[in-house]
Amino acid sequence: MANSLEEFSNDFKETIKVIFNETEGSEWYKEFEEKFDKITKEDDKIIGDYNCSIGAMELMLFIRKRMRDEGLAPIISLIGDISIKGKKHYDYIINCMRNCSPQFIDKFPETYNIDIKKCKCSKKGKEIANYNLSYDVDGWNYTNIQYNCEDWMKYMSVPQQYRKPAKKYVTHFYYNELDHYLTYYVGLIKQQEKVMKGKDPGLKEIKREIELLKNIRKNKITPPKGEKNRPLRHYNK
């Protein structure tokens, strides 16, 4: 567990390295570091809810582009008539994982399994399927930021923090739990947090799978095919 902001930030950098199999000497990683350093500067002010800043939005657009390049996010446009927290939203996210971002399922199978489970809830005495994902939009205001159609942006009424009235602007629909996790992490760094406190099951699971990947990378272990994210003790023989 990180006990300083510097350690928390360094852990995020290690997370990026292991997700994209990057090294500090690559051109992409150098550009990533430049964008990351911007969000740690005082002049990159928080300008909206959910720890939104110009630097944070630019950093996540850069990371999401790499996610798409690696097959960890879909390279398609967001459908126009989608709304958050409903069956159509749920089905679209799951279909995009299965058909447009297979590397996400391959790298984070247990996180995917959490997403595809339809929770049951009771309504008027009847048990119904709850299609709500634990994530929907990041809530940041991209209205004056350059983006493209694959960035899954939509002009909509966005719920605000602390029960403030919703506001209409362009915001980002999450691709999957990895997108949610990385965006949440960047927001915490902007807020100068030193630890991730999220209790959401998807966030906890993808954090566990990322930590496992870090250990595999650290120990230079190649897991058997089909057992990529099993506990390390299966390989240390």
Give pLDDT, residue 13: 97
In this prediction, residue 173 has a pLDDT band, given cuts at 50, 70 and 90, of very high
**Arithmetic mean of pLDDT over the chain:** 88
Q: Positive or negative CA dihedral for 203, 223, 68, 36?
A: positive
Per residue in 42-88, pLDDT tens? Answer: 999 999 999 999 999 999 999 999 999 999 999 999 998 888 878 89
Tokens encoding 64: 């999401």
**Which residue from 108, 19, 30, 7 is spatially nearest to 67, judged by alpha carbons?**
19
Q: What angle do CA 191, 51, 107 make, to 5 degrees?
A: 90
Distance in angstroms (rounded) separating the CA atoms of residues 147 and 153: 8
pTM for the model: 0.87
Which one-letter DSSP state was computed for residue 27?
H
Tokens encoding 36: 């990351």
Per residue in 98-110, pLDDT tens? Answer: 999 999 999 999 9
Length of the chain (residues): 237
Least-confidence region, from 101-105, 143-147, 172-176, 194-198 = 194-198
In three-state secondary structure terms, 170 is strand
pLDDT higher at 23 or 132: 23
